[in-house]
Amino acid sequence: MLEVAKLNAGYGRVAVLREVSMAVPHGKIVGLIGANGAGKTTLIRAISGLASIHSGEIRFCGRIVTHVAPEDLVRRGLVQVPQGRMLFGPMTVRENLEMGAYTVRQGSAFESALDRVFALFPVLRERAHQPAALLSGGEQQMLALARALMSNPRCLLLDEPSLGLAPKIFALILAVVRQINGTGVPVLVAEQNARKILDLAHYCYVLENGRIALEGESDRLSSHPGVRASYLGAG
């Protein structure tokens, strides 16, 4: 579904990612773990068309999308939930959802998408006419995810979804991610909370200093001595 091959990327001429190769197969949840500054956000942004790609290749649904504009990637179904949520604070919840659905042209399709996200996050229906800035942190993360879902993504990219959330709210977000994946949508999750992501994902990559240091099925990585020592707090 999504393939990254020997990607070198960063910001301007500054290199952050070096020879990164990874894949997100159809119907799978893939985790990307690593310390702060390892390059996780840069990789998500490079895939989304928001970072400078120096060399390498990105393929989505069998087509090369290495230098495709971000808005065109969204139209193709590759959709990101950014770190920090990046909502339109003065706009209402519904207006934020409408912004997420700008690629949905038919009114009936918009209403169907709206019903789906309200079913996943009932509190957003209750808050539909409130400014996004007045929501709690957890509700804002729900809205950011719901906004991404309004475009009916074929592949979903999540960048640090736990940021600023209480453990109970983060667990709720991950439960919804499982539901979304259960409908067949592949998901790439970049996250510092390695324990939660190893429990969630089918396959994981460990990013260190802009390079893939380890990869494997999540249950195997969970027992890897280096992962346990560096990311799970176990000796």
Query: What is the SS3 assignment for the chain?
Result: CEEEEEEEEEECCEEEEEEEEEEECCCCEEEEECCCCCCHHHHHHHHCCCCEEEEEEEEECCEECCCCCHHHHHHHCEEEECCCCCCCCCCEHHHHHHHHCCCCCCHHHHHHHHHHHHHHCHHHHHCCCCEHHHCCHHHHHHHHHHHHHCCCCCEEEEECCCCCCCHHHHHHHHHHHHHHHHCCCCEEEEECCHHHHHHHCCEEEEEECCEEEEEEEHHHHHCCHHHHHHHCCCC
Q: 192 with 20: CB under 8 angstroms?
A: no
Provide the residue type at 221 as one letter.
L
Q: How far apart are alpha carbons 2 and 70 in whole angstroms?
A: 15
Q: Which of 12-21, 44-53, 103-112 has the lowest mean pLDDT?
A: 103-112
Token couple for 136 = 């709690």
Q: How far apart are alpha carbons 151 and 149 in whole angstroms?
A: 5
Report the pLDDT value the prediction gives residue 66, as an integer from 0 to 100.
Answer: 97
Token couple for 7 = 């990607």
Q: Which of 53-57, 96-100, 106-110 has the lowest mean pLDDT?
A: 106-110
* Number of Cα atoms under 13 Å in the Cβ half of residue 100: 33
Average pLDDT over residues 5-28: 96
This prediction's pTM: 0.93
**Tens of pLDDT, residues 213-226:** 999 999 999 999 88
Q: How far apart are alpha carbons 43 and 58 in whole angstroms?
A: 11
Token couple for 49 = 């068309």
Q: 113 with 101: CB under 8 angstroms?
A: yes
Report the pLDDT value the prediction gives residue 231, as an integer from 0 to 100.
Answer: 85
Pick from 70, 14, 47, 71: nearest CA to 189: 47
**Tens of pLDDT, residues 135-163:** 999 999 999 999 999 999 999 999 999 98
CATH class for the region spanning 22-43+67-231: alpha beta
Phi, psi of 178 (to 5 degrees): -60, -40
Q: How far is CA 132 from the centre of its chain?
A: 20
